[in-house]
Amino acid sequence: MDEEEKLPLTEHLTELRDRLIRCFIAVFVGFVIAYIFKERLFQILTRPLIRVMQEGETLIFTGIPEAFFTYLKVSLLAGLLLAAPVIIYQFWMFVAPGLYKKERRMMIPIVFVSAFFFIGGALFGYFIVFPFGFKFLLSFATENIQALPSMREYLSFSSKLLLAFGVVFELPIVITFLARLGLVTVPFLKKHRKYALLIFFAGSALLTPPDVVTQIMLSLPLMV
222 pLDDT band, cuts 50/70/90, is: low
Residue 4 has pLDDT above 60, yes or no: no
The upper half-sphere exposure of residue 108, i.e. CA atoms within 13 Å in the direction of its Cβ, equals 7
Q: What is the pLDDT of residue 2?
A: 40
pLDDT in tens, 184-197: 776 766 676 666 66
203 pLDDT band, cuts 50/70/90, is: low
Residues of the chain above pLDDT 70, percent = 80
The upper half-sphere exposure of residue 167, i.e. CA atoms within 13 Å in the direction of its Cβ, equals 12
Q: What is the pLDDT of residue 3?
A: 44
Q: For the whole model, what pTM was predicted? A: 0.83
What's 54's DSSP letter? P
Question: Which alpha helices (DSSP H) does 37-138 contain, by range?
Answer: 38-52, 66-95, 101-124, 130-138
CB-count burial class (<10 Å; 0-12, 13-18, 19+) for 52: middle
Q: What is the pLDDT of residue 6?
A: 47
CA distance 67 to 46: 14
29: Cβ contacts below 8 Å, ≥ 6 apart: 79, 82, 83
Q: Domain range holding 44?
A: 2-223
The residue with greater pLDDT, 94 or 9, is: 94
Query: How many structural domains are present in the chain?
Result: 1
